[in-house]
Amino acid sequence: INKEEKQLEHTLESLIQRVQDIKNSIANLLVKLENEYNILQWPSVLDNFALLSGQLNTLGKLLRNEKVPPLRNSILLPIALSGDRDPELEKVTERRVIAFNADVVPHYLRTKPEPEVEERLQPVLNRASSLTPEAAQKQINAMNKMTSNIVDIIKSHQETMEKEANQKSSLSQTSSQADTNTLLSAVLTGKGFKSSGMRRTDMAQQQSNMQAQQQAAQQKQQGNAHGKVQSSIKTNIKQGSSTHPYQRN
């Protein structure tokens, strides 16, 4: 009996440790989802799910181990109920349970689902038990086919994305950042031009400006001369009209 009790105690300690690890992983994931949702990346979420999956598999292997006594044969009964605050129980349960009373026992020592859950689950169980083996196998095959199609679509999409990424990386670069910077410097600041070339350009610009000024001056002079001629003609016409030879007395 002592050997069985020690084995059971050791098994319970291992189970508590594994469950605690799972609890911590779930808590860490929830903290990230609530506080880091704006910067959280999908690979990080997948890593957390992979960790949880590994921990659940470890727990399942522990329960299936041959050295683990069958826990179904063990019965857990409350030795005493008390409404007083129990500091040790509060510490063990991380302040979730402060007293082991009649209100707590039915929830924490329950071996069956809650009545509401059991009531909703019962129709599903009845429907499953009413199916014939052929009908059940047909539904399983349909589900497997649909799952396989989804997996194929995901793989095809992933292969297409990888192919496009490889094609983009294999394309040769057709531009040079150094040449672009050189052109920008030449256009904006004149960097890279020879001084003699700049002088010839300045001289040509000055000559062009002088020619434009000369042409403007000539046009102005011509316009003034033309204006004087018109004014003299008008004067002569007025003077001639006063001594017209055909004017009647």
Tokens representing 216?
């403007």
What is the 8-class DSSP label of residue 173? Answer: P
Residue 186 has pLDDT above 60, yes or no: yes
Write the pLDDT tens digit of every residue in 21-80: 999 999 999 999 999 888 888 888 899 999 999 999 999 998 888 888 888 788 878 888
Q: Which one-letter amino acid corresponds to residue 144?
A: N
Residue 62 · residue 68 · CB < 8 Å:
yes
The structure tokens listed for 63 are 């329960």
- pLDDT value at residue 28: 92
Residue 67 or 203, more confident = 67
Q: How do residues 92-132 score in pLDDT, each as one tens digit?
A: 888 888 998 888 888 888 878 888 888 999 998 898 888 88
- Quote the tokens at residue 210: 């002088």
CA distance 121 to 114: 10
d(CA 15, CA 65) in angstroms, rounded, equals 12
pTM to 2 decimal places: 0.45
143-159 burial by CB neighbour count: b if 16+ within 10 A, else e? Answer: eeeeeeeeeeeeeeeee
